[in-house]
Amino acid sequence: MNAEPEPWVGVPEVAKHLDKGAYTIREMAKNGTIPATKLGSEWRFKLSLIDEKLTAAPEPWVQSNRSRGRRRI
């Protein structure tokens, strides 16, 4: 019953897990693409939350970033 809590990991571990660069991981954290917490100047992540977020089905009626802020005539 005493399962070990999942550790928080840093940018290098997430970059390796997702096979992306460190800059890309920081940008994904900033814009909310992946769940993250910032402690001081460092980003911290839980890999299980990232996997959940990236494998979840997208919401069908979410406005895209491209169309956000544009005026319709």
Cβ neighbors of 20 (< 8 A, separation 6 or more) are 28
Name the token pair of 22: 């460190």
pLDDT tens-digit series, residues 5-64: 899 999 999 999 999 999 999 999 999 999 999 999 999 999 999 999 999 887 777 767
What is the enclosing helix (H) or strand (E) of 47?
A: helix 47-55
| Domain with 40 in it | 11-53
| Residue 40 is assigned to a structural domain of this protein | yes
| Residue 41 is assigned to a structural domain of this protein | yes
Instruction: Write out the DSSP string of 15-28.
Output: HHHHT--HHHHHHH
**Count of structural domains, the chain:** 1
pLDDT of residue 10: 97
| Residue 66 is assigned to a structural domain of this protein | no
